Amino acid sequence: TDLPLILGIESSCDETGVGLVRGCELLSDQVASSVAEHARFGGVVPEVASRAHLEAMTPTLHRALDGAGVKLADVDAIAVTAGPGLAGALLVGVSAAKAYALALDKPLYGVNHLVGHVAVDQLEHGPLPKPTVALLVSGGHTSLLLVRDLATDVRLLGDTVDDAAGEAYDKVARLLDLPYPGGPPIDRAAREGDPSAIRFPRGKWGDGTYDFSFSGLKTAVARWVEESERSGSPLSVPDVAAAFQEAVVDVLTRKAVDACRAHGVEHLVISGGVAANSRLRALAEERCARAGIELRVPRPRLCTDNGAMIAALGAEVVAAGLPPSTLDLATDTSLPV
Ligand code: KG4
Ligand code: ZN
């Protein structure tokens, strides 16, 4: 086709991602993760992540080019995550993107990581309906966005005031002696448990905002675990996992559906690592069906951090005719949407 070939580079957290797209067509998606190196610390260590990006960037880029059967010289534009994310990690991707843009004499576009998580859905389900509400749930973010246009009109409706949803999963997994990252083992354990066995608090429930809070929930789980240790009564890990998970997904799906209703929006995208959660998917499907909202959840591989999502957003920015970034493009650890 004659759509431009967009190279996307992602390095905001612990995944080095390089992807290639044309419009809504995914040509390749290569990711190198340093997650195993962070496992023994129970969370991402910024310095370890930066060094891993530095080592993985060039080989990942070459795998992506090979995967798409294209050459570096075929690339028409380069999109890179400018933020939000970890300072040193972001710098590696932005430096690499600048070097390629300069060497190839191709335009460079710094883009927002959060919006990339929404744009990626186009690679799976085609053009995003306008407007769309997006729920981004990952280890670093819990945000509700009103997306009127991916390139030019994205509004933040709400955010977590403390822990991110995935971070809450990771911390609660630690309390339950489950491995890091905690989302998948809690998801699995919860299938054997009773979500109504314990009523954990739903942070910011019904407070009229689209903000979230998970630190009170995490503390409630910690108290529950301590109490069972002190009283000597056996702790049911599946019940605690199921009840914790229900508290998280109940408030996530409720606020997402409320946001759609309040803004007259009939489409919801859920993305980010936590979108892989089976209970979140099931409850969102149920509540969206009841509210007449079309639910889109990209496949798990596209929900977690990757370069294709950045390329997908780059394609939108190029199509919208926005001016490229200059070579002094700065990273911004808390880049707003
Ligand atoms: O998007 P992601 O790969 O990285 C960023 O944080 O940006 O998300 C990782 C997060 C981790 O906190 C992990 O525990 C969580 O996503 N996660 C899950 C599941 N799979 C991954 N949380 C709940 N249920 C899952 N099945
Ligand atoms: Zn992310």
Q: Would you say 305 is a known binding-site residue? A: yes
Q: Three-state DSSP class for 21? A: strand
| Residues 6 or more apart in contact with residue 73 via CB below 8 angstroms | 104
Nearest CA owner, ligand 1 atom 14? 183
For residue 180, the ligand 1 atom closest to its alpha carbon is 14
User: CA 32 to CA 49: how far, in whole Å?
Assistant: 11
Q: Which residues of the chain have pLDDT under 50?
A: none
ipTM surpassing 0.85:
yes
Q: Would you say 126 is a known binding-site residue? A: no
Burial of 73 (0-12, 13-18, 19+ CB in 10 A): exposed
The pLDDT, as a whole number, for residue 40 is: 84
For residue 139, the ligand 1 atom closest to its alpha carbon is 6
- Minimal CA–CA distance to 8: which of 305, 276, 326? 305
Q: Would you say 117 is a known binding-site residue? A: yes
Ligand nearest to the CA of residue 118, numbered in listed order: 2
The pLDDT, as a whole number, for residue 1 is: 62
Q: For the chain, which domains are there?
A: 6-120+306-319 (3.30.420.40), 130-300 (3.30.420.40)
**CA-only gyration radius of the chain, Å:** 20
User: CA 64 to CA 66: how far, in whole Å?
Assistant: 5
- Ligand 1: residues with CB < 6 A are 13, 138-140, 166, 169-170, 181-184, 187, 272-274, 276-277, 304-305
- What is the reported pTM? 0.95
β-bridge mates for residue 296, sequence order: 269
User: CA 300 to CA 237: how far, in whole Å?
Assistant: 25
Q: Distance, CA 164 to ligand 1 centroid (Å)? A: 10
Ligand nearest to the CA of residue 186, numbered in listed order: 1
User: CA 283 to CA 51: how far, in whole Å?
Assistant: 39
Q: Distance, CA 163 to ligand 1 centroid (Å)? A: 13
Q: Distance, CA 333 to ligand 2 centroid (Å)? A: 13
Instruction: Identify whether the C-beta of residue 256 lies closer than 8 Å to the C-beta of residue 212.
Output: no
In this structure, the strands spanning 25-33 and 294-296 are unpaired
User: CA 178 to CA 187: how far, in whole Å?
Assistant: 11
Q: Which two tokens stand for residue 256?
A: 């997402």
Q: Would you say 137 is a known binding-site residue? A: yes
Burial of 109 (0-12, 13-18, 19+ CB in 10 A): buried
| Residues 6 or more apart in contact with residue 131 via CB below 8 angstroms | 146, 147, 148, 263, 265, 267
Q: Which two tokens stand for residue 141?
A: 């973010």
Ligand nearest to the CA of residue 114, numbered in listed order: 2
User: CA 313 to CA 23: how far, in whole Å?
Assistant: 9
